Structure 1
Amino acid sequence: MSTSASPKRDSAGPPAGPVIELDGATKRFRSAGGVHTAVRDLHMTVGPGEFVAVVGPTGCGKSTTLSLVSGLEPASAGRVLVHGRPVEGIPDGVGYMFQNDAVLPWRSVLDNVAAGPRYRGASRREARDRARDWVARVGLAGFEGYYPHQLSGGMRKRAALAQTLVNEPSVLLMDEPFSALDVQTRGLMQDELLRLWSGSGAAVVFVTHDLEEALVLSDRVVVMTAGPATVKGVFEVPLERPRDAEEVRLTGGFLDIYREVWESLREEVQITRERGAGHAA
């Protein structure tokens, strides 16, 4: 176990460099009580086509980590690189899927999905053609003219996924995107994500509170400590692809890796609980 993985090798032989690299990254925020350190001394890499899930106790700084990679927040110390370049503003090729849908209520499904390509300079016709293709890919063909309030929660997530993937990001950041869904719909969306991501070459960082979800989806799971968070450990997920989100949970290999990661994560969850109890007292 290590806090970084060996770079994947391409067909030419030499190792491909990491798409995402955090090298001693720290983030501090000023507050009324002084300075709050959200994350400290983070070391993590994500290679091309690699799916990395980040888990940790509530409030430890998982979302802050995504903010550093996306350029929404600058690092206070250390380095954050995307495609080998320091992050100074939002890097090219980054797609971000938030916990809350970013679909605009006054736009149809098609127009929501077409907004990204239009913003990037595509003609109206080209943007709508690309959007129509992605709406079909996520299983919403026939709903192009619907508005967000006319969709179920799962359909809204499908629209948000199409909205993100239509731009063909090389880096996909996902902050608990399925947490508000019921169990059955969440499983369907996990399968949908794996299907659409497979073969794309995108590097994915997926933040979740759900350890099962992390293991179902990822190649590696990063466990973060209680806040201020740093990387406690990184675990390879030895489950073959392609995966079925429901069936893989029933395998012996899944249960083995679940026990191993939970043993590490449980200690940090307990620390957070004890801190909360102490503040309440």
Structure 2
Amino acid sequence: MTDDPVIRLRGATKRFRGASGVHTAVHDLTMDVRPGEFVAVVGPTGCGKSTTLSLVSGLEPASAGEVLVRGEPVRGIPAGVGYMFQQDAIQPWRSVLDNVAAGPRWRGTPKAQARELARGWVERVGLGGFEGYYPHQLSGGMRKRVALAQTLVNEPEILLMDEPFSALDVQTRGLMQDELLRLWAGSGAAVIFVTHDLEEAIALADRVVVMTAAPATVKASFDVPLARPRDVEEVRLTAEFLDIYREVWDSLREEVARSREQAVKAEGGRRVA
């Protein structure tokens, strides 16, 4: 990893205007991510974690502050960014192979070459033999493998992941976490991984960023000095993992409590009104 950030947020703020007025989702957000670094972002529900990804991806412009990718201000969707959402973007009328080939085709790759690239990635995510299947024929874990192949086939330099495994059962989720680490290793891609699961964040990341209750800003950043490669199930059982977990949770639980207090006050206000 170099010392020059590939992603840089400086005082980034995002406001949304709604029927009830202006809502500030994130405020004065400052964070760097270096090439090849895996950063997990945790925080209370609704604090603005997903908004942070939207700013980096160019899907939402910042209301104030700076968002830079490779040193350039984000004014649209930057080249080389892959985005994996909580809900997969698999097209039901396309086969597994054609879903994975869709990205390269959209970027102008000839059909035969795009399908060959897709076939390689279908194999790499463990779906060899399922190229001709359609989404309704796949399990939830298999659909996530397709979504992962869809994202990685374009070889992104920046990988944004918004709770991609949250809907999976515990066993399948662990398998997908290991699969992600295996495929990401050596790619040089910078990753921002948003999750509500602190164990998942620590098991995957080089660094865990804790966000405050809304409007979110960065409260603290914790290095994760666990050796790679990692087996996510085994690493959770180590004393080092538990030490890091306690340290991060001490910071995070204060924000979770604040978020709950805000929710109770808001609910009380609605009842009075």
**Fold equivalence (TM over 0.5):** yes
SS in structure 2 opposite 1:238? coil
The reply on whether 1:102 has 2:89 as its aligned counterpart is yes
1:278, distance to aligned residue in structure 2 (A): 2.1
- Paired AA for residue 120 in structure 2: D
Query: Residues 112-261 of structure 1 correspond to what in structure 2 (within 5 A)?
Result: 112-261=99-248
SS in structure 1 opposite 2:232? coil
Match of 2:13 in 1: 26
Deviations 1:247-280 (A, max 9, x none): 0000000000000000000000001111112223
Number of positions where the alignment pairs a residue of Structure 1 with one of Structure 2: 268
Name structure 1 gaps, 5 residues minimum: 1-7, 10-14
SS in structure 2 opposite 1:143? coil
Deviations 1:125-184 (A, max 9, x none): 000000000000000000000001100000000000000000000000000000000000
CA distance in 1, matches of 2:71, 2:211: 24
- Paired AA for residue 68 in structure 1: L
CA distance in 2, matches of 1:231, 1:26: 12
CA distance in 1, matches of 2:252, 2:262: 16
CA distance in 2, matches of 1:59, 1:243: 30
CA distance in 2, matches of 1:136, 1:72: 31
- Paired AA for residue 243 in structure 1: R
Match of 2:73 in 1: 86
SS in structure 1 opposite 2:236? helix
CA distance in 1, matches of 2:221, 2:33: 12
SS in structure 2 opposite 1:140? coil
Deviations 1:10-53 (A, max 9, x none): xxxxx4x1110001100001111211100000110000000000
**Following superposition, which runs of at least 4 residues in structure 1 exceed 6 angstroms of deviation?**
none
Aligned-residue sequence identity (percent) comes to 78
TM-score (norm. length: structure 1): 0.94
Match of 1:12 in 2: none
Name structure 2 gaps, 5 residues minimum: 269-273
